[in-house]
Amino acid sequence: MKLFAALLLALSVTPAHGNPTAKRKTCTIKASGTNKTDDAPAILTAFKECRKHGKIIFEPKTYYVNSALNISGLEDVEIDIQGQLLWSTDILYWLNASLPVGYQNQSTAFILGGNNVRIDGHGVGTFNGNGDYWYEWIKKQPNTSNYPGRPHQITFNGLTNSVVKGLNFLRSQMWTMSIIHSHNSVWEDIFVNNTGNRVSSSNTDGADTFFSSDLLFRNWTVYNGDDSFSCKANSTNITLLDSHFYHGLGIAIGSIGQYNDAFETIENIRAENIYFEDTLHAFYVKTWTDDRVGFPPNGGGGGLGYAENMLMKNLTTKGMRGAAFSISQCTRFNGAPGVGNCTNSQFQVRDIVIDGMKGTTKDRRVVSLQCSAVAPCTDIKLSKVDLKYTNGTVVPNYLCGNVLGNQGWNCTGPVCVGGSATGGC
């Protein structure tokens, strides 16, 4: 493993701070007090006036966000969020007006970017996506996942040397946050609950990173129905610490390999002291096959590259629903061809360490590694693994295919080979 130097770098994320003694222009945003009035123009005006060396205050009130927000180019700004930002339920508007994220043809309701930005919600500041309306609506559509225009709640685009802390994210419209072209920044003390009041929904990820580096996530709590946390294309030096995940899919690497002939990487990922309750996996990797069928977000394949140097340490599970550690190199949508193509991915997965994983599971598999025959998984090391059923029986199965150089464990049988977006069959 080549983790040590990279992890020191990831853990030493120390975003800059503004001069506390400098006199700052302060912009206090006045809430309209009614959902008939869009507070987005007032928010945009405040950020325009205080976008450099300023302070922006959201008072302990509800702000009705009825239109898209695009805020970028901030420099040395404090953002104090004491109230709630509540997004409108005009689904038709958002499908047509949401902003491009810049990856997978995804879109977002809010873009925020800048350098040396310090956002503090003090544990009470809340982003509420009004997701119940989206969850009910999406269940009636033929495409219940990556529906065009269904927005992420917020996208941090080009956020550098910054800190985001003490925020609550409730019922996000789709993914809670996407993080792109962002570097040397911290997200800590974050609470996410995308549990619907009336129905549940897929694709309610906690956080997704891509084209970003040197990011630290600490003390997250996520209740959701999809990836609890995900690192996608060109995520480098990502550290996740001291977090709790409930009911989702666990920590995900990918999906990746979706863009034909594009070379992408995921490197130097660390997660430590993580608790999983009723999640599908603790840790899983998902890549597309080498067959291109359709286009992102619901199609693709044929990508190149690798994911390497990933350390999962001190993981605790309760009631795991699937294989605790899973690799599936057979992600395929849009009627992709059959099972026979599940081992042709050119994207390689290598250098994974799981050091300490204990708790209970409902599944018969500790490990389910369905790797590519073209680019086999290599150097998979397991130590201090102690998974049991609730009756105390040790879980026996370590299933694998096309895995080379495994350390500290032996494969007990062949893995199931089948297309899946969530790992395994």
- Backbone φ and ψ of 8, nearest 5°: -60, -40
pLDDT for 3: 44
Q: Of 176 and 20, which is predicted with more confidence?
A: 176
Is residue 235 one of the residues assigned to a domain? yes
Query: Using 50, 70 and 90 to split pLDDT, how confident is the model at 10?
Result: very low
Q: Does residue 7 have a pLDDT over 50?
A: no
**pTM of the complete model:** 0.95
pLDDT for 297: 87
Q: What is the dihedral of CA 209, 125, 113, 261, to 10 degrees?
A: 20
pLDDT for 102: 96
Residue with the two structure tokens 């966000």: 65
Q: Does residue 21 have a pLDDT over 60?
A: no
- Backbone φ and ψ of 132, nearest 5°: -55, -40
d(CA 8, CA 91): 44
Measured in residues, the chain has a length of 425
Residue 107's closest CA among 192, 196, 187, 175? 175
Residues 231-281 pLDDT 10s: 999 999 999 999 999 999 999 999 999 999 999 999 999 999 999 999 999
Residue 153's closest CA among 197, 192, 125? 192
Is residue 27 one of the residues assigned to a domain? no
Residues 135-192 pLDDT 10s: 999 999 988 878 999 999 999 999 999 999 999 999 999 999 999 999 999 999 999 9
Query: Using 50, 70 and 90 to split pLDDT, how confident is the model at 17?
Result: low
Are 324 and 361 in contact, with CB atoms under 8 Å apart? yes
Question: What is the rounded average pLDDT of the residues 377-398?
Answer: 97
Is residue 420 one of the residues assigned to a domain? no
Tokens at 272, concatenated: 């430590």
Question: What is the rounded average pLDDT of the residues 21-32?
Answer: 89
Is residue 187 one of the residues assigned to a domain? yes
Q: Is 386 a catalytic residue?
A: no
Residue 342's closest CA among 267, 252, 415, 253? 415
Q: Does residue 4 have a pLDDT over 80?
A: no
User: How many structural domains comprise the chain?
Assistant: 1
pLDDT for 149: 96
Is residue 278 one of the residues assigned to a domain? yes
Q: Does residue 398 have a pLDDT over 50?
A: yes
DSSP-assigned letter for residue 339: G
d(CA 170, CA 194): 6
- Backbone φ and ψ of 231, nearest 5°: -110, 120
Helix (H) or strand (E) holding 223: strand 212-223
Q: Does residue 42 have a pLDDT over 90?
A: yes
Helix (H) or strand (E) holding 48: helix 40-49
Q: Of 341 and 129, which is predicted with more confidence?
A: 129
Q: What percent of the chain has pLDDT over 90?
A: 84
Question: What is the rounded average pLDDT of the residues 83-110?
Answer: 98
Number of Cβ within 10 Å of residue 365's Cβ equals 24
CATH code of residue 400: 2.160.20.10
Structural domain boundaries enclosing 371:
3-12+71-414
d(CA 211, CA 79): 25
- pLDDT averaged over every residue in the chain: 93
Residue 247 identity (one-letter amino acid): H
Q: Does residue 335 have a pLDDT over 60?
A: no
Select which of 39, 80, 205, 226 is catalytic.
Answer: 226
Is residue 61 one of the residues assigned to a domain? no
